[in-house]
Structure 1
């Protein structure tokens, strides 16, 4: 075992969570699950697998990850989502670390899947994130969406071998539901920061994102899944600024809160982001 605590936020993740926990138990004796009112077997599965489970109110992605970090037994934190599964190469890479420099953070390559198909190109095929860090130096930011790690100036970033295998969406309908939800949260974030929705953001940026993802990053080589990913990247960009534009034009419109559709304030069942 290594002196690393794993922090996972969950809601209705029974289908995937046991696969991830089975792998993680090979390197750690401290897995913290911060659950948000799961109605499936998530809580019972995690408890049966020896995890420490805390059922908290939903305060946002970054906020709930920080709650888990505070509850951890060790200062070194591996932060993952419930739909991410470490492979053996990654576990070996972590097990070989000395953990003697609190200013070092570790960047982990991702392998993304659309359903069960691995995605090798586009933005998804190039994905990697810092997920292993020391909590005395690093915390998550707490915006409505797209939380990021707040890193010290003198941080040293090192890459790990292996992958986190990210089973992002099962199908196109789930993908679209996620991008709609993310877009609403992003619009809320932009509204709070005073960002504006202009012509370029609404009409040029979406097309640019499609061309970049599908053509420049070779997304077309992933077949129909590459097409869906590029199309959703375009739609996501447009929706963010569409919702922001509505918020700025009609802040008191019915079914809107602070100009954003009320569902943006609700935690959706199986959506995680970074």
Structure 2
């Protein structure tokens, strides 16, 4: 076994969690599941596979991942989602690592699926992420959405052979629902950071996102799925700033009103995973 811990955050992931864990067990003897009170068979599957399961309230993607990191047996952390499955080439690649330099992080290529179809082009076809790192130097940012790894100065990046297979969405409806959901969360994040709406990010940026995904990155070669992905990429970009515009108006209205602004329900953030 490789001296690393696999950390997975979950919420109702019974359809994919078993295969994710099976791949992880080829890598390590320490698998940590941080579960946000799943109501399906996620927890029973994880426990039957001898994973360490912890249930806790939802505090955001980065915050919950960091909880798992803190509970890990090893300092080296492989972070995956429940719908992400390491292939054999990646497993073998991980077994060759010495993991003796904590300044190193490891970038892994992804193969993303729309239903059962592998997406080879567009933005999805170029997907890769740093997912293996040493917790003594690296943690996740704790923003509510689009968490990122905080890499200190002096960090070195190495690319690994093999892939993580990401079973992202079942169909167009789920893809659109995720786009809508993340647009809402992103708008809230933008509002908190003071980002403003302008003509470029409201109108030009969505159009460019579509052109980049569908034409420049060859999304049209993926057929109807490539078109749907490009369209939803456009929609997500546009919606983020439309929602931000509404939030700005609501904030201004409530500034001059005695009625406090309604607060978003944090539990909503667990309805869809990355």
* TM tier, smaller: over 0.9
1:8-19 → structure 2 map (5 Å cutoff): 8-19=8-19
C-alpha distance in 2 between matches for 1:213 and 1:72 = 37
Aligned residues: 268
Runs of 4+ residues deviating >6 angstroms: none
- Which residue number in structure 1 is paired with residue 273 of structure 2? 271
Secondary structure of the residue that 1:8 maps to in structure 2? strand
- Which residue number in structure 1 is paired with residue 193 of structure 2? 193
Mapped contact 1:13–1:270 kept (Cα < 8 A): no
TM-score by length of 2: 0.95
TM-score by length of 1: 0.95
C-alpha distance in 2 between matches for 1:88 and 1:102 = 25
Mapped contact 1:184–1:264 kept (Cα < 8 A): no
- Which residue number in structure 2 is paired with residue 98 of structure 1? 98
Instruction: Please report how far the alpha carbon of residue 270 of structure 1 lies from its aligned counterpart in structure 2 after TM superposition.
Output: 3.2
1:36-55 → structure 2 map (5 Å cutoff): 36-55=36-55
- Which residue number in structure 1 is paired with residue 21 of structure 2? 21
Secondary structure of the residue that 1:227 maps to in structure 2? helix
C-alpha distance in 2 between matches for 1:265 and 1:198 = 30
Instruction: Please report how far the alpha carbon of residue 92 of structure 1 lies from its aligned counterpart in structure 2 after TM superposition.
Output: 0.3
Mapped contact 2:250–2:261 kept (Cα < 8 A): no
C-alpha distance in 1 between matches for 2:49 and 2:261 = 42
1:211 aligns with 2:178: no
Task: Quote the RMSD (CA, aligned, Å).
Answer: 1.4
- Which residue number in structure 2 is paired with residue 161 of structure 1? 161
Mapped contact 2:106–2:159 kept (Cα < 8 A): yes
Structure 2 unaligned spans of 5+: 255-259
Structure 1 unaligned spans of 5+: none
Mapped contact 1:86–1:165 kept (Cα < 8 A): yes
Secondary structure of the residue that 1:78 maps to in structure 2? strand
C-alpha distance in 1 between matches for 2:26 and 2:84 = 16
